[in-house]
Amino acid sequence: MTPPPSTRTALGFLLLTALLWSSSGLFFKLVSWHPMSIFGGRALIASIVFLVYLRGVRFRWTRMQAAGAAGYAASQFLFIFANKLTTAANAIFLQYTAPVYVMLLGFWILGERPRRADWVTTGVILAGLLLFFGDGLSLRGVTGNVAAILSGVSFALMMVCMRAEKEGDPAQVVQLGSLVSAIIGVPWLFQEHWTPADTGIILYLGLFQISLSFILYSRAIRQVSALESVLVLTLEPVLNPVWVLLVIGEMPGPMTVLGGCIVIGAVLGRALFSTRGTAGLRRSDNAPRLNGVPCQPAPAPAPDTAAMTGGLGPYPKSLNLTRGKAR
């Protein structure tokens, strides 16, 4: 098993993960398949990729692994279900209340206590997302809104359980979750028309948007806390309209841009705080310790002049030892 990456590298992996996840919105617009067919097709391809990546089926069958796989499958299924019953803005915003659930589950399951910076960052991010999706939020579609909230809870459960597997291999959680998702979604594939465009999009979604992103995430979660990871990944809904703008030309409104800037600023500030905190920990880890507490080394003792002069006391000032004669 490869060693965990550095904190800076792990944050880079999370940024790439958010970038890959954010591309789903664009390709969902371009593909003509039913959402459950997309769900099953991505999962089937991911199952094959992780079979190769992990060199076989590797499960430890721990409670955390099983719960994480259930959270993985449920978060995607419930999110697709929520998009059918409520607005897309409601579904995404309510799913990304996940940092709150990660705080609670992370403290309860992992003992990872959130810091003041985490609470502040979470509040700023949620405020930014509220501005970002403000025009599209609605009280309609109660069932869809509940499904979106449950999607956020299951999303948080997946992250916490993958973090709990950091001493093993968190990628096994994704492999098991992909197999479960494929079993659920594959029957819908037989109802679709396999055009070259749709097939290419499904291959991209399965190979890169799901498989590569979760390989990166499974590496990163071994180094950073579950809460730090989900805070960085809140960049996903912000980057989503950027893809749509670049390819389709759909221009976001001013409040969307403002909310997105707030989220990006909060995530980057938290990432900077994390890397500086890690650097400080590395410096303190190199210091001498007393009962596990870093301390400064004791100053060197002063030379024993009495011993140097045979017990006669300090040298007389009148002696010039350099020249070897009296002044």
First to last CA, the chain: 73
pLDDT score for 75: 92
* Domain extents in the chain: 7-280
The number of residues in the chain equals: 327
Alpha carbons 25 and 82: distance in angstroms, whole number: 14
pLDDT score for 268: 80
pLDDT score for 282: 45
Rg of the chain over Cα atoms, rounded to whole angstroms, equals 28
pLDDT score for 254: 81
pLDDT score for 66: 92
Pick from 181, 165, 170: which is nearest to 79 by CA?
181
Taking the chain (327 residues) in runs of 10, the rounded mean pLDDT of each run is 81 93 82 88 94 84 90 90 77 85 88 83 87 73 86 93 89 93 92 91 94 94 88 84 76 80 83 63 45 50 53 50 45
pLDDT by residue (tens digit) across 49-92? 999 999 887 777 788 999 999 999 999 889 888 877 777 777 88
pLDDT score for 162: 93
Classify residue 110 by its DSSP letter.
I
Rounded alpha-carbon distances, angstroms, from residue 261 to 126, 211, 225, 239, 253: 12, 28, 24, 11, 13
Alpha carbons 287 and 306: distance in angstroms, whole number: 34
pLDDT by residue (tens digit) across 286-324? 444 444 444 555 555 555 555 555 555 554 544 454 444
Alpha carbons 39 and 248: distance in angstroms, whole number: 23
Q: Are strands 325-326 and 319-320 parallel, antiparallel or unpaired?
A: antiparallel
Predicted structure pTM score:
0.76
pLDDT score for 196: 92
pLDDT score for 281: 43
pLDDT score for 120: 87
Alpha carbons 86 and 77: distance in angstroms, whole number: 14
Tally the C-alpha atoms within 13 A of residue 308's C-alpha that lie toward its C-beta: 7
Pick from 220, 152, 154: which is nearest to 10 by CA?
220
Alpha carbons 222 and 14: distance in angstroms, whole number: 12
Compute the Cα dihedral for 131, 136, 138, 143 and give only its sign: negative
Contact 236, 20 (CB under 8 A): no
